[in-house]
Amino acid sequence: MPYSCKTLITTGNELASREKRLSICLGANGFSFTETTATGSLLTFGEVEGDHAATMTDVLTDLKMLLPSLGIRPFGYAATELIVISDASVWVPDELFTATATRKYLKLVGSEPPMVVTCQYKPLESTAVFAADEQVVTAFKVALPGISVINQHVKMAQYKAPANHPCILTHWRKGRVDVAAFADARYIYGNTLRFSDDNEAVYHIVDVMKSFSLEASGTELLLCGDVGRELYAQARPYFPKVSLFNGTVTQLDNTLFGHLHTYRYALILM
């Protein structure tokens, strides 16, 4: 099935591309995207449905037809990023990283994917090594030359955590929760945890808190992604503050975006 636009919300503000940032997050069947300004205003939000299982040529052909209709141009943005939600990833300190050993790194977490992507993250002096869908990533890189390819852990590590208390940012999806832990505003842990039910997931997150000796009475738990209401009741006995995380975009046109469940798309709203 070719890509088709499911949702498109735009302010219609005509800004030069160099004043905008484009963020795209791949999903299981399509992708979501935002255009934001450098000052944190949301200009455009979109959801696209489609079959990633098509050939790379078909994916690229569909993208080249679709992107212009969404107002997405291939060049000129201040920054562009493609977020890959990957189940197989590892951080490697830059001083130990060797470009020819990327597949060996992923073997340590039991993965031998057809495509391995790396992304150096200078604030951590580390490189993220992660598995990705080769044909889809390649198609996006051709359609949007110069786009940065990162995974969810690199994106979550960019969160500006508070300095006055520990914080655990969680991104929920089916059978998985991506976890980023912060202490003293520093990123100290990132991983993808598998679970069979929400209770098991909360148990794993509590174990992360205990492993890093985070103060239970002061640790804040942030939830984004595929979050259900029952999570609050299950998490509150362990965390004094549980909140939905809506990203860091601070300026929304409520007449347009007021009904958008921003916590579901927090990764592209950071």
Q: Are residues 42 and 149 in the same domain?
A: yes
Adjacent-strand bridge partners of 90: 129
Q: Which two tokens stand for residue 148?
A: 């940065």
Looking at the structure, tell me whether residues 15 and 132 fall in a common domain. yes
> Cα–Cα distances in Å, from 170 out to 92, 140, 180, 214?
21, 27, 6, 16
Are 104 and 238 in a shared domain? no
pLDDT exceeds cutoff 70 at 1: no
Q: pLDDT tens, 149-205? A: 999 999 999 999 999 999 999 999 999 999 999 999 999 999 999 999 988 999 999
Mean pLDDT across the chain: 91
Do 14 and 126 fall within a single domain?
yes
Per residue in 115-145, pLDDT (tens digit) is: 999 999 999 999 999 999 988 999 999 999 9
Q: Is the pLDDT of residue 16 over 80?
A: no
Asked if residue 71 and residue 132 are part of one domain, the reply reads yes
Helix intervals (H) in the chain = 56-69, 102-107, 134-143, 152-157, 198-211, 230-235, 254-257
Q: What is the CATH number of the domain that holds 122?
A: 3.30.420.250
Distance, CA of 158 to CA of 250 (rounded, Å): 16
DSSP state for residue 158 in the 8-state scheme: T
Same domain, yes or no: 3 and 69 = yes
Q: What is the arithmetic mean of pLDDT over 97-120?
A: 91
Residue 156 near residue 169 (C-beta atoms within 8 A) = yes
**pLDDT for 5-15, tens place per residue?**
999 998 877 77
257 and 183 in a single domain? The answer is no
Per-residue pLDDT, averaged over 244-261, amounts to 84
Q: 190 lies in which domain range?
A: 161-244
Q: How confident is the model at residue 259 (pLDDT cuts 50, 70, 90)?
A: confident
User: Structural domain tally of the chain?
Assistant: 2
8 A C-beta contact, residue 146 and residue 80: yes
Residue with tokens 């347009």: 256
Is residue 265 domain-shared with residue 132, that is, in the same domain?
yes
Shared domain for 3 and 96, answered yes or no, is yes
Rounded to whole angstroms, the maximal C-alpha distance in the chain is: 53
Instruction: Look at the block and give the residue holding tokens 């409520």.
Output: 254
pLDDT at 52 over 90: no
State the pTM of this model: 0.94
Give dist(CA 265, CA 249) in Å, integer: 11
Nearest to 47 by CA among 28, 66, 31, 63: 31
Same domain, 24 and 128: yes
Pair (210, 260) in one structural domain: no
Closest CA to 171 of 155, 187, 150: 155
C-beta contacts of 99-105 below 8 A and 24+ residues apart: 102/129, 105/129
For residue 174, the tally of other CB atoms under 10 A from its CB is 7
Same domain, 79 and 175: no
Q: How many CA atoms lie within 13 A of 15 on its CB side?
A: 22
Whether 233 shows a pLDDT value over 90: the answer reads: no
pLDDT for the residue 267: 97
Share of the chain above pLDDT 70, in %: 100
The CATH number of residue 168's host domain is 3.30.420.260
Who wins on pLDDT, 198 or 46?
A: 46
Q: Which residues contact 3 (CB under 8 A, 6 or more apart)?
A: 30, 48, 49, 50, 62, 63, 66
